[in-house]
Amino acid sequence: MNTKEKTKLKDNIREIACMNSHITVLDNTVAVIENCKQILECNEILAKIQTGKFEVEVWGAGLMLSNYCSESIEIRGKISSINILNRKDRE
């Protein structure tokens, strides 16, 4: 099995096992991130969350975290942007 096939197999396993992250945005006031691993930073203008393969940055005003349980988190406030950064690119 070559490297490309191994990568595809890994991605398929992650998808089947629900290890991919899901982000739901409701208007510009709520973002729910599922399958998160760690809160990296949180203040009134930035919430940075680590997922399996990515870091998710939620930028806005008056941000606060709520409902952090079972690997999902809800971010509330006035959301202005969401950035998704590949962790491999940052290493």
pLDDT tens digit string along 41-60?
999 999 999 988 889 999 99
Residue 89 CA, chain-centre distance (Å), reads 16
Write down the pLDDT at residue 91.
Answer: 55
Write down the pLDDT at residue 72.
Answer: 87
Q: pTM value?
A: 0.76
Instruction: Spell out, as residue ranges, where the chain has pLDDT lower than 50.
Output: none
Amino acid present at 86 = N
Q: CA-CA distances (angstroms) from residue 75 to 12, 23, 32, 67?
A: 29, 11, 6, 8
